[in-house]
Amino acid sequence: MFDKQAYTVFKFGKRIDQSAQNKRELLDKALPALRELFRLDRVYFFDWQQERALLSLKMMCKREYCMDMQEDISVLSEPDFLKELLRDGIADSTDLNYPAVYVLLKWKRPMMIMDGEEVKNVIKTRLGVLRLERFKKERVFTEKEKKLIKGVAAEISRNLTRTEVGQHNQQRLNIATTLNDLATVFASSLRLSDGLELILQGVQKSFRFDRVRLYQTSHDGRKIKSVLGVDISGEVTNQTEDDLPEDERTLLRDIFDSGEAYRVIHNVVYIPLKVQRNKVGFLTFDNLLSRRRIDYLDFISLKQFSNQIALAIDNAELFERVQELSNYDELTKLPVRRFFAEKFADEMARSKRFDLIMSLIILDIDLFKQINDNYGHQIGDWALREVSQVLLTSLRQTDFPCRYGGDEMVIMLPRTNDDECKIVAQRLKDRINKITIPSRYTDGKHVTLSISQGIASFPQDGQTPQELFDKADKALYWVKNGRRGTFAVYREVADDLPKEK
C-alpha cells in the first residue's frame, strides 16, 4: 500500500539532500522547505544547551528568507514540557497564544579529543529544537501533521549528521594540507629564523588565531632566549625575555617543570616543545581578543605539528653549536684564526667602501715559553685563559679578538684610530698586569703576567689585511726588543725598525 507520509518524507529528504558545507547551509535549505510543507508562518531553530537547560535561538525563517537570530530561553521552569519533548520528540508550546510545536533534532558530530598524549576519535550527540508556528489560532497542528513533522525532523537530523561528518572530514583534510604546505615551506627555508617566521605566519593565516608565538628557551628551560610572534595584523614581532611580564616567565617554567603535554589558560594554548630530554621552547596561540573558541581539531593538529617544529629548532641549534665549536678556540673561547681572517677581510672591505677607519692590535704574553717551562703547561694554559678572559670582558661589542696561534692574539677594532686604540691597549695592559700566577706554583714568589702589543691602523699603515697585519707585527717586534710589557703604534716607531730590503 502506498505510504503517503513516507513518500512526503522521502521527497523532503531529496529536496534538502544537497551537499551542504555546514549546519547553517543545511538549515538554510531545510527551514524554508519545512515552512512550505506545513504552511507555517515562521520556523525557528534552537541549539539545546543541555548543561544550562537553555534553548539558544540561532536561526529564523519567515516568508521567503532565513536569518540569524539570537535569544536564550530557559526551559528549567517547565519540567513537563521538557519531559514530553524528550520522551515523544515533539511537544506543544505551553505558553504561546497561537499554535506552535517544538520538535527535537538529534544528530551526531565526530570529534577528536586528547586523552593525555593520546588522540581519540569520539562521536558526540548533539541536540537541537525546531519551533513551528502558525499565527492563526484555528490552524492547530493535527496529530497526523505532528507524526509527519517528526518524520521530517528525523530526516533533517540524518542530514545534520551527514553534514557534520562531511565537515569534519573536510576540516581534517584542509588541516593536513595546510600543515603539509607549512612543512614544505619550512624545509625549503635557508635560515631557521626565516623558516620560523613563515611557519608562524602560515599557522596564523590558516588557523586564524589572534596571535601565534614561539618562545625559544635554553635547553634547561630556565631562560627564554627569544619570542617570535605574529599579531592580529599579521605583523611579525621579536622580543626577548626582558620584554615579557614576570608572570609569563614563571608560568612557562611551571609548564615545563610540570611535564604537561599542553596547558590551556583562558583562550591561550601553550604547547611545550621538547626533543627527547632537550627543552626547545613553546608554541602558543591564542584568541584572547576575539574570544573565539579554539577548535579541538586545530589544537590537536598543531600539537602534532609542534613535534616537527621542535625537531627543526633542535637540529638548527645543534648545527649552530657545531659551527660555534669550529669557529672558537676550545681553551680560550676566542675566535680562531680562520674565523678571524674572514671577519677581518669583510671589515677591511667595508672600511674601504665607506671610508671608515680601523685598527689592529697584535699581542703576545711576555716570556710565555718560560712560564710553560718553569711552571708547567697547565699554568701556561691557565695564563692563556686569564688573558683571553680580560680580552673578552674589556673590549667593545664591535671589537673582534682571536687566538692567532700559541700565545699570540689579535684584536680588530673597527672605527678606531691610533689614539683610541692606545687607550684600549693601555686598559688591557693594566688589567693583565694585575693577573698573578698562584703562589703555590711559584714557591711563594709574586709573579704577574704582562703582554706586549703592536698597533697598526687603516688606512695609514696598510691597504690590505696582510699589510696591516705585517705592520702591527713589526710594531710588536719593536716592543719585544727590549720594551716588553708596553705597546707601540707602527708609524710612531717605523723609523726605528730595520729597513726592509
Residues making contact with another protein (CB under 8 A): 21, 42, 52-54, 60, 62, 65, 67-74, 76-77, 93, 95-97, 100, 133, 204-206, 208, 210, 232-234, 245, 266, 287-292
In sequence order, what E strands does 136-290 have?
A: 211-217, 224-230, 236-239, 263-265, 268-275, 278-286
C-beta of 96 vs 311, nearer to another protein:
96
C-beta of 100 vs 365, nearer to another protein:
100
C-beta of 157 vs 206, nearer to another protein:
206
Supply the minimum distance, in Å, between the C-beta of residue 106 and another protein.
22
C-beta of 53 vs 357, nearer to another protein:
53
C-beta of 46 vs 339, nearer to another protein:
46
C-beta of 39 vs 266, nearer to another protein:
266
Closest CA to 476 of 451, 459, 499: 451
C-beta of 143 vs 246, nearer to another protein:
246
Cβ(69)–Cβ(31) under 8 Å? Answer: no
Q: Which three cell numbers stand for residue 251?
A: 608560568
Supply the minimum distance, in Å, between the C-beta of residue 63 and another protein.
8
How many other CB atoms are found less than 10 A from the CB of residue 88? 12
C-beta of 72 vs 181, nearer to another protein:
72
Supply the minimum distance, in Å, between the C-beta of residue 192 and another protein.
25
Supply the minimum distance, in Å, between the C-beta of residue 206 and another protein.
8
Backbone angles phi, psi at 299, to 5 degrees: -60, -45
Cβ(356)–Cβ(348) under 8 Å? Answer: no
State the DSSP string of 366-404: TTHHHHHHHH-HHHHHHHHHHHHHHHHHHS-TT-EEEEE
Supply the minimum distance, in Å, between the C-beta of residue 58 and another protein.
9
Supply the minimum distance, in Å, between the C-beta of residue 463 and another protein.
51
What residues contact 336, with CB distance under 8 A and at least 6 apart? 326, 327, 328, 329, 402, 403
Supply the minimum distance, in Å, between the C-beta of residue 196 and another protein.
19
Residue with cell 711563594: 444
Q: Which three cell numbers stand for residue 74?
A: 530557559
C-alpha–C-alpha distance, residues 169 and 451, integer Å: 73
C-alpha–C-alpha distance, residues 461 and 416, integer Å: 13
C-beta of 210 vs 298, nearer to another protein:
210
Supply the minimum distance, in Å, between the C-beta of residue 269 and another protein.
15
Supply the minimum distance, in Å, between the C-beta of residue 380 and another protein.
55
Cα 377 to the center of its chain, rounded Å: 47
**SS3 category, 105:** strand
**SS3 category, 426:** helix
What residues contact 128, with CB distance under 8 A and at least 6 apart? 45, 46, 47, 48, 104, 105, 106, 107, 160
Supply the minimum distance, in Å, between the C-beta of residue 56 and another protein.
9
C-beta of 132 vs 391, nearer to another protein:
132
Closest CA to 47 of 64, 62, 27: 27
